Amino acid sequence: MTLDAATIDELYGLEPVFEPGDHAAATSELGVFVELQCPWCGEPYGSMLDLTESSRSYIEDCQVCCRPIEVRLEVSERGELEQVSTSRVD
């Protein structure tokens, strides 16, 4: 018997939670969880992108080096993420 995450949840009566690599669990009605790469330090970090609005850009700090990053989102008319890019903010 293999004990994967779903089996363990079932055995102990737990609610399913986000599992790394489980892309179906990484989406919600409000957005999608993606892994981005900091244009300053090059380290990957996770971010929840809000898809309730149209395409736009915003600034957030890198979770590793704390430098400002411009995140640009392209969102389709159906509310699906088409493209995301990051760049340095000087």
Tokens matching residue 85: 């890019």
Examine residue 16 and state whether it is found in any structural domain, yes or no: no
Examine residue 14 and state whether it is found in any structural domain, yes or no: no
What's the total number of domains in the chain?
1
Which residue shows structure tokens 């900091």?
Answer: 38
Beta strands in 38-67 (DSSP E): 44-50, 56-61
What's the pLDDT tens digit per position in 16-73?
665 555 555 455 566 788 999 999 999 999 998 888 888 899 999 999 999 999 999 9
Average pLDDT over residues 69-88: 91
pLDDT at residue 65 in the model: 95
**Structural domain of residue 56, as residue ranges?**
26-88
* pTM as predicted: 0.65
What's the pLDDT tens digit per position in 5-28?
778 778 888 776 655 555 554 555
Examine residue 21 and state whether it is found in any structural domain, yes or no: no
DSSP 49-86: EE-SS-SEEEEEE-TTT--EEEEEEEE-TTS-EEEEEE
